A and B are shown apart, each in its own frame.
Chain A
Amino acid sequence: MRFSGLVALSDVTVEVEPGRVTGLIGPNGAGKTTCFNVITGLQEPSSGRVVFDGADITGKSPYKRARMGIARTFQKLEAFSSLSARDNVLVAAEQRKAWDRSGFNPGAVADELLERVGISHLANFMVGTLPTGTARLVELARALATDPKVLLLDEPSSGLNEDETLEVARLLRVLAADGLAVLLVEHDMSLVMGTCEVIDVLDFGSIIFSGTPADVQRSHAVQAAYLGSGATKAGAR
């Protein structure tokens, strides 16, 4: 699967493969969230194309892309705050009935997914009153309820403590092992390094580096992007 498009982005190509967690990192303002918005159709690129599963999906409305198998979470929470955690997931599972005829039971799917992200004890709580980190897990479960092929995660660990972050890392690896393609935007480097097989580094709207976690750690270009060129000099001294 291949995505490319331009908005605040120029010539960004991110390849996301099934069975693999791909990392997308970069300093604040590098265009990571914009990239997600373009892929999911919330923002239209002024030029460029978004290709999914070999098909050009540029200009397709967000809900159609969702039905093709693209799901996401949001950096700024977009949980359905006046619904309970279970209903958040249930809405997505019920919606899946519109295009998935496999005869699943939405209620059971919702319960199972809440269990899977570890918040089934909070099922009846209104999401608007839950802590940010927990609400992120609700968003994750909601995204999974659409049974996606590609899962885009926008900083899933922010608001989570260390143990919960480890739990998310484990879950992501399991999901990838099940054949899901995961694209992870994250600031928590231990999570990125621990789960991603490939990492793309985005800065000023374009991919400046792509490689394995070890390559990324060694790259001077990446260090410069994160810390400014002065820091690279300091590091080189």
Chain B
Amino acid sequence: MRLKTKPTTIAAGVAVAVFALVVINGNRGPAVYSGHNIAIALVVGISLGGIYAISAGGLVVTYSTTGIFNFAHGAIGCFLAFVYWELRVNRNWPTPLALIAVIFVLAPLLGIGLDVFLMRRLRNAPLVVQLMVTVGLMLTFMGITLTMWKPTQGRALQHFFESSKGVEVGNVIATWHRIITVAVALGIALLLRTLLYRTRIGISMRAVVDNRNLAGLTGARPSVISGASWALGCMTAAVAGILIAPETGLVVENLTLVIVVAFAAAAIGQLKSLPWAFAGGMIIGLVTGFTRVFIAFGPNYSYASEAIPAVILFIAVLFLPQARLATGSLRLTKRTERLTTPGEALGAAALIFGLVAAWANGWIPWITGTTFGQRTEVWLGRGVGFLVIGLIMLSLVPLIGWAGQVSFANFAIAGFGAAMYAHVGGQHGNPLALLWVMLICAPLGALVALPALRLKGLYLALATMAFAEFSDKILFRHPRIIDPVKNGRLYEPLRVLGFRISSDGPDRKAFVIFLALAFVVLFLLLEALRRSRWARRWIAMADSPAASATIGVNLTTAKIAVFALSGAMAGFAGCMLGLQQGSLRGDSFPLFAGLPLVLLLAVQGVRYPVAAFMGVVGLAAFPALYEVAGQPNYLTSIALIGPGLAAIAMAYRPEGAVFYAGRDLAALLPWRRDAREEKALAVAKLRSQDVTRDEINDLGIDRPFTVEKIAQLDRALNVADELLERPGVGAPPAEEVPDGTLVS
């Protein structure tokens, strides 16, 4: 990896080093820098680093060969570690048999299954869809694991060879488990290296990264290769999961969060370099080891050591070389652009408000004559929660849907807003505090945008995820931000026009109606914005940053503007979140809590403000289903599995439900001929794609290629005509020379 060192890079490096020194200096633990202590730190660090390296290595292999970054890597490892526990401990299988069953049978099968059913469809999908599907997968695996192995029961995986003492290095004992870990990590590193550089399939895998179509033409089989790399990815995830479970405890959240470490290590390797990913894993392991031994964080930063991977991830992402201005290809399923008219927007707003208000007043069961949708105090409380989440979803529409900046940080920003609301007067029910919080959160949103100014899609998603994790482990745990002692009521009810708005039982109805009103106002604001030059500029920027720059768009200000808008909206939602929760705790805003809302919005269609309301309906549907089904055991984790599965379905329907439903419903209206044409076109397009795919399969392609086969392929792909138009590629131009023209 060649790093171009610019002055700014050096300055940033110095800043990071100073920051690290200050942190180390300010939090020295009681341990002295003796050889013994350093040896302990090394032993712990290297073995942890080995596990991280394994996990990161698998992540890099799948990403670099399939182009899909697997957010579910940690969750899959967690699931497989639980399966291993089930076989080894619960069913008492012998260790080798259980290991083989999990690592060499179940993991590869899972990987191939994922590839066949999901990942191949994502190959050319927009980044948002790729992200949502793998994050959905992550939540689904978390949910499945939580359902199958209820967290109420304590479980533990033993270290390997727990009974024997281990090996003494100097005067430090390295347990066999640690030694095995390091050996396995080294073995996997060598194996992957050999596989990728010395075997046929490995070389094909690397060729596929460079150019899938070209590799296909030279006889590599892309489907076999992606299957193999997903199998490999799942196997490494399983190994890492089983090895780390004794360290972190067999707890779903802990095991899944290993993903942040793997992300950080992979980011050090720029997501593509295997050796650097391994080195990254080691670095993080060693930092963790030394921190454990030498650093004792003060009571204000009690969770800081858990934030180390997130901090390293953030720093690694900041140091990544600047992305060239380039554009991805976007596949469209609609032909003409028809924006929501102001009339339609007003109608939708009235409908949304009417529905929510009617429900809050208890009118819906009266209309339907059944208990369907009955309003209870519990459900009013939940309704408040869903609408607050809906507001956060709304804040993501301009950011993700229009400007194409995938951010997982908005829930954390809302959390920050909730905390700030208490500080600036919300605890006395002062409505002005709402404004203050929005003014604070707008620059906070812009601050999150800083990495986005240089980086593109995936890295931004990683950076925002790191920010969310950092907030959860450091910001929200600091007593100056959220005081753990004041566990009582933090917020007085907000008073608007004589109504009391709070989560107290009698105030809930007013709260729901107030939220519906706020939602509708913001909804209309976004609909108006969508028709303005701002939204056009953001969409242009998302479609082609390069072209935007060449028509004079200042990408920096455009990005900061959209992040600030989104931040302000999230801040407002945060105030409501604070009011809804009544009192805040340090663990009120974990990273995982912020993911389902992004997924549910994306599933509904991230480009459309109305999708946020559909997302609210979706949120409400899961607990409703749980209750209607009689609270069965298998649905206890539906709040995770539901959004997860819905997001996975985006592999099949990438545009989001609002789009498809809107098109299909509009087609039923007699005067909407355009919608019917639109649908017919989409269906025809889909069919022609399938036909092409079948034709290619029918060619029976295998190497070596004959000229006719290539010509057939060209015809099937419709590229022949274009190629022939190119000079120098088609017919030889020699005949044209005699008369002196250069037409070729």
Which A residues contact B (CB, under 8 angstroms)?
27-28, 40-43, 61-63, 65-67, 70-72, 74, 78-84, 87-88, 90-92, 94-96, 98-99, 106, 124-126, 128-129, 139, 142-143, 145-146, 158-159, 187, 189-190, 193, 216-218, 222-223, 226-227, 231, 234-235
Contact = CB atoms under 8 A, between A and B. Distances in A.
B536 interface: yes
Contacts of B536: 83, 87, 90-91, 94
Contact of A81 (B325, B533, B543, B728): B543
Interface in B704-744: 722, 725-728, 733-734, 737-738, 740-744
B539 interface: yes
A40 B533 CA distance: 24
B57 to A, nearest CB: 34
Interface in B293-346: 324-325, 327, 330-332, 334-338
A66 B552 CA distance: 5
Interface string B544-587: 10111111111100000000000000000000000000000000
Contacts of A234: 734, 737
Given A80-B548, A126-B335, 8 more contacts: A78-B544, A78-B546, A82-B539, A91-B537, A124-B336, A189-B742, A222-B742, A227-B734
B539 A61 contact: no
Contacts of A84: 336-337
Given A189-B743, A226-B744, A142 B551 contact: yes
Q: Chain A CB within 10 Å — which of B324, B330, B544, B726 has the most?
A: B544
Contacts of B550: 40, 42, 62-63, 65-66, 70-72, 143
B638 interface: no
Contact of B332 (A40, A41, A81, A193): A81
Given A79-B544, A99-B552, A124 B539 contact: no
Nearest to B734: A231
B540 A80 contact: yes
Contacts of A216: 742
Contacts of B733: 226-227
Contact of A95 (B331, B544, B546, B551): B551
B741 A217 contact: yes
12 contacts: A72-B550, A84-B337, A91-B548, A94-B533, A124-B336, A125-B337, A126-B332, A146-B552, A217-B740, A231-B734, A234-B734, A234-B737
Interface size class of B (residues with CB under 8 A): 35 or more
B554 A63 contact: yes
A87 B337 CA distance: 10
A227 B537 CA distance: 44
Contact of A129 (B335, B533, B552, B737): B335
Contacts of B554: 61, 63, 98
A143 B551 CA distance: 7
A90 B325 CA distance: 22
B533 A128 contact: no
A218 B540 contact: no
A130 to B, nearest CB: 9
B455 to A, nearest CB: 17
A143 B738 CA distance: 39
A226 B741 CA distance: 12
A196 to B, nearest CB: 13
Contacts of A87: 337, 536
A28 B537 CA distance: 34
A228 to B, nearest CB: 10
Contacts of B553: 63, 91, 95
Contacts of A235: 737-738
Given A124-B337, A125-B335, A158-B725, A80 B555 contact: no
Contacts of B334: 126, 129
A83 B552 contact: no
Nearest to B331: A128
Contacts of B734: 227, 231, 234
B744 A189 contact: yes
Contacts of A66: 549-552
Contact of A83 (B539, B546, B725): B539
Contacts of B544: 78-81
A74 B547 contact: yes
Given A42-B325, A189-B742, A231-B734, A28 B335 contact: no
Contacts of B555: 63
Given A63-B555, A190-B743, A231 B737 contact: yes
Interface string B525-547: 00000000100110110111011
Nearest to A89: B551
A145 B551 CA distance: 8
B655 to A, nearest CB: 11
Q: Chain A CB within 10 Å — which of B536, B537, B542, B743 has the most?
A: B536
A227 B737 contact: yes
Contacts of A159: 722
B334 to A, nearest CB: 6
A102 B337 CA distance: 30
Contacts of B740: 217-218
Contacts of B549: 41-42, 61-63, 66
A94 B737 contact: no
A231 B542 CA distance: 46
A200 to B, nearest CB: 14
Contacts of B540: 80, 83, 88, 91
Contact of B552 (A43, A88, A98, A190): A98
Interface string B56-87: 00000000000000000000000000000000
Nearest to A125: B336
B737 A71 contact: no
Nearest to A218: B740
A96 B552 contact: yes
B741 A63 contact: no
Interface in B586-621: none
Contact of B330 (A27, A82, A94, A95): A82
Given A61-B549, A125-B336, A145-B551, A80 B742 contact: no
Q: Chain A CB within 10 Å — which of B332, B741, B742 has the most?
A: B742
B741 A189 contact: yes
Contacts of A41: 549
Contacts of B330: 81-82, 128
Contact of A71 (B325, B533, B551): B551
A113 to B, nearest CB: 13
A223 B742 contact: yes
Nearest to A216: B742
A94 B337 contact: no
A164 to B, nearest CB: 13
A216 B337 CA distance: 46
Interface string B453-470: 000000000000000000
A98 B557 CA distance: 12
A1 B331 CA distance: 39
Nearest to A65: B550
B543 A82 contact: yes
Contacts of A61: 549, 554
Contacts of B728: 27-28
B726 A187 contact: yes
Nearest to A230: B734
Contacts of A70: 550
Contacts of A27: 728
A92 B550 CA distance: 9
A40 to B, nearest CB: 5
